[in-house]
Amino acid sequence: MHTQVLFLANSASSRAIVQAALNSSDNMNVIVCESVLELLHQFCQTSFDVLMIEPDGISSDDLEILLRFIPTSIPLLYLIEEMQSFDYKKYSSRQGAEILVKLTGYLTALPYQVQNSAFMHKTKQSHGEIYKPVDYQAVNGWCELDADMKFQRSSPVFENLTEYSQADLKQFTILDVFHDESRNKIQKIVFNSSENNMENLVEVKLNCNGEEKYLTSQFRRIKNNQQKTIGWRCEFFHHKHYKPELANNDNTSPFAHKLWDLANRNFQKTFSIFFRILADKCADIFQSEHLTLARYNQTTNKFVFEAIRGEKLPLDSLLEQHSAALFTRPASGTPKLFTFSDSPDKNAESGHEFHIEIPSGFGLQSGWILPFINPDGKPVGCLAVSNSGLMKSEKDAVEHLNIVYLTLMLILGSFLDKESQNKKERRLHQVLVTSSIFKLQLPMRSLMREMAWSIKFSFDAFLTTLALFDQKDRSLGFYAVASDDKHLILSLAEEKVREAKFLSLLQNGKTIRKSYLVPQIGITNTLDLSSGTSERGFIVTPIFDNNNKMMGAIILCERRNMPFFELESVTILETIAKQIAVGISNRVLYSRALKQPNTEPVLVKTQHSNGKVHEPSKKPQRFWSRMFS
């Protein structure tokens, strides 16, 4: 079954590259659109399974209008640059939206990510987790106006929306049909807008027999040969399920509603984006003017700081002095909420047990620190919040902070558990993928290359290579290399390592089950791994044949911030190595069977043999005799 994908991008190069990457998959069709208007046309004409948007260059108003037409039953993917600055709240406002970052080599993984998103959405629909409207329908209509804004022509869809025939519409101007609020919008576009600023979408309201219909519209000029405006063409899009939300102010919404909105988020994102969204929402809950995020890097054992609101606070010096106190789980199991101020024990009278004195140039006089610890007792990060936007009552502030803090801890724990489970499922799925790859009718080197890239994406590795020993000189050659760094692929393809040298490096490395963690793999040139790895070394999983003799190895190097040198991953790698050994042995036996000639004697029967076999005939047989003997 083919997956139908709609892709919206303002950049022509992005449209061409992504279309080529997705069309490389056999079970995927992609339609690219360069504007929101073109995407709305496609949405009204065709059905699709996945919507992917590159928000760079698309106005926030057009994006907001577009999302009204997309039901939650269809997965929505945002494709963004790695260092792109964007509004997290806007992108995460729709339930089920996912963010894909353009990391190095993202085009190779893009078809797998799109298919996985479509599969997960269909699974949730079948389980009743996502509501799929049965009668969901979006329609597209149009009309043409003269210079006086009177109707000239219209489509049947527009006539059905207004409940007027074309003859009746010619008696009116467009201002006579729409609501008073919409008339002002239309007049502003027609009379006050410049000719170069006519591409934005506008929402207008239509009243028909007491029923309110909200239409998304776009007005374009009709010009003559002298480039004078002689009329207008108006495009309208409508679906009956959309009703605008009541205008409310986030700053005045009740605390319970904000907290529920935070807990009801669907975080299908990486940990760094997820943690930043939590911090941003926490600042909204308390209307805080200053909030700084410190995210802990498990690989480098350092904190990464980012200012969510206001200027970045110097948390690095504060965490160095009080790291042990902040990130130590108390015996009661209840998370600790810290206060800080520029005076010693300022809040002691209020009953705060955990207080930190800050230096004079910290940037805030007082506030709160919310430290986060994972289930293993290791630090995850912390938030430093100013108390400028908190309630006047100190008791209410502490109570609300504790509620939010406990909610954040529960959400964080759920996210970490889900991320760990998804990682295990993805790597276990690689065991099934390995056996299916060997069924492809491809040359051996192409199979190994497919295997290397598949393992790389399953383990989120920076470098994956499948190395085999040459039977002639017993040197280890890197037959397939998959990496985010193209120069690394080219350099490793030309390298060879002597068997004795490679085995000695394994013996000196750290043993993990039947695998090894080694700092080097014995190549002549030094590999530059600083572009994306933690530089912890290589995990080497040997590949053994039927005689328990090493025929090669799977070599992986982890990506920065994504450690996978744990026992479960090594166990899966060793299972994959066994499958590769079986697949290679079967391929070798099959190729030998094809090359071996048929030496069986040819038995010829004659009419007088009476069914008895005579001696083998020494005469050369003709073609058809050989075929059917």
Angle, to 10 degrees, between the axis of helix 567-595 and the axis of helix 394-437?
A: 20
Q: How far apart are CA 541 and CA 569, in angstroms?
A: 11
Residues 261 and 364 in one domain: yes
Residue 455 lies in a domain: yes
418 Cβ partners below 8 Å, 6+ apart?
none
CATH of the domain at 474: 3.30.450.40
Task: Examine the domain organization and report whether 272 and 343 are in the same domain.
Answer: yes
587-618 pLDDT, tens digit per residue, is 888 777 777 766 665 555 555 554 555 555 55
**Rounded mean pLDDT of 143-162?**
86
Q: Are residues 584 and 493 part of one domain?
A: yes
At residue 299, does pLDDT exceed 70? Answer: no
User: Do 573 and 484 have their domain in common?
Assistant: yes
Based on the domain organization, do 463 and 362 belong to the same domain? Answer: no
Average pLDDT, the chain: 74
Q: Determine, yes or no, domain membership for 166.
A: yes
- Residue 134 inside a domain? The answer is no
Tokens (6 digits) for 290: 């200053």
Strand partners, 623: none
CA-angle at 220, arms to 215 and 222, nearest 5°:
135
pLDDT at 542: 92
Residue 613 in any domain: the answer is no
- Whether 270 and 410 map to the same domain: the answer is yes
pLDDT at 509 over 60: yes
Residue 121 and residue 146 in one domain: no
Are 445 and 500 within one domain?
yes
Decide if 103 contacts 110 (C-beta within 8 A). no
Hunting for tokens 């009740």 — which residue is that? 254
Do 264 and 409 lie in one domain? The reply is yes
CB contact set of 447 (below 8 Å; sequence gap of 6+)? 437, 438, 440, 583, 587
| pLDDT tier, 191 (very low <50, low <70, confident <90, very high otherwise) | confident
Q: Taking Cα atoms as reference points, which of 467, 491, 462 lies closest to residue 479?
A: 467
Please report, for the chain, how many H helices and E strands are present, in that order.
17, 23
Among 372, 392, 419, residue at a domain's last position: 419
Mean per-residue pLDDT, 201-227: 76
Instruction: Give pLDDT, residue 498.
Output: 87
Number of structural domains, the chain? 4
Asked if 19 and 93 sit in the same domain, the reply is yes
Range of the domain at 215: 140-239
Assess whether pLDDT exceeds 50 at residue 351.
no
**Which strands make up the sheet holding 97-102, listed edge to edge?**
28-33, 3-8, 50-53, 76-81, 97-102
399-412 exposure pattern, b = at least 16 Cβ within 10 A, e = fewer: ebbeebbebbbebb
In this prediction the pTM is 0.40
Looking at the domain assignment, is residue 473 inside a domain?
A: yes
- At residue 553, the pLDDT reads 92
